[in-house]
Amino acid sequence: MKLYSCVTGADRGLGFELAKALLEDGYTVFAGRYNKDWKLLDKLSEKYPDSLYIVDLDVSSDTSVKAAAEFISSRTDRIDVLVNNSAISGNYDPTIFDELDFDEMLRVFNVNCLGATRVTNALIRLIMNSEKKLIMNISSEAGSISTCYRKGWFAYCGSKAALNMHSAIVHNNIKEHGGQVILIHPGWMKSWLTGEYRDEAPLTPDIPAKKLIGIIRNPERYKGERPAFIDYEGNKWEF
């Protein structure tokens, strides 16, 4: 039986590596593309012409998400694994003593938290048609309130904490039907979160992506009353 997945923010970085790993694992992948100028997905589609669908998707836009969901629904009646990966960072530096950009915070919340909920809401019927019913939300240790040490990062930390709460609510809705939500702290990766490539981190995105495939293969071990909040190695994180 075919397995179907959707990955948001699949243009590059972790999203791209997850889309590639899912394809290698036999999934048909609907890969959310934010920017047509980024060509990695186009090259990947040459290798997987029958199992990779590139879907234009801006998770911050109701209209874009609705159109993407309609396209996906026209190709399949179920989504076995949804990976909400799209994220932006905002400005890390300002503390409460500085002038804060609240419009920027709203933009980050709209992508990082509401974007995941928006996509989940648009695809929930397809998810519920699956036996697997797995939603994997890429969160961060920055969203952990109990371990918070930062004095800045208002937008990013707050958006990931909000994502964790939305994930718990979604989990409460689907757990009685056999579904689950898993929150992932993917580690400190080289990424484009700030809009520019940052390579000071120790991890390249392919490393956690390969680990996450193992979690996707056997998510039942993380089932419980609350969504699992784990790192890419499977270690538990505190909310």
Residue 187's pLDDT is what? 77
Residue 203's pLDDT is what? 78
pLDDT in tens, 77-95: 999 999 999 999 899 899 9
Residue 232's pLDDT is what? 92
203, exposed or middle or buried, with CB in 10 Å at 0-12, 13-18, 19+? middle
Is 3-231 assigned to CATH 3.30.1360.120?
no
Residue 28 and residue 42: Cα distance in Å, rounded?
Answer: 15
Q: Residue 178: beta bridge partners?
A: none
Residue 213's pLDDT is what? 96
Residue 233's pLDDT is what? 92
Residue pair 136/231 in contact (Cβ under 8 Å)? The answer is: no
Residue pair 69/122 in contact (Cβ under 8 Å)? The answer is: yes
Q: Which of 194, 185, 195 is nearest to 228 (CA)?
A: 185
pLDDT in tens, 59-70: 999 999 999 999
Task: Give the sheet arrangement for strand 81-84, strand by strand.
Answer: 52-56, 27-33, 3-7, 81-84, 134-138, 180-185, 228-231
Residue pair 133/127 in contact (Cβ under 8 Å)? The answer is: yes
Residue 205's pLDDT is what? 87
Residue pair 85/92 in contact (Cβ under 8 Å)? The answer is: no
Low-confidence ranges of the chain (pLDDT < 70): 189-201
Burial 162-175 (b: 16+ CB within 10 A, else e): bbbebbbebbeebb
Residues 6+ apart with CB under 8 A from 55: 6, 30, 31, 32, 33, 68, 71, 72
Residue 49's pLDDT is what? 96
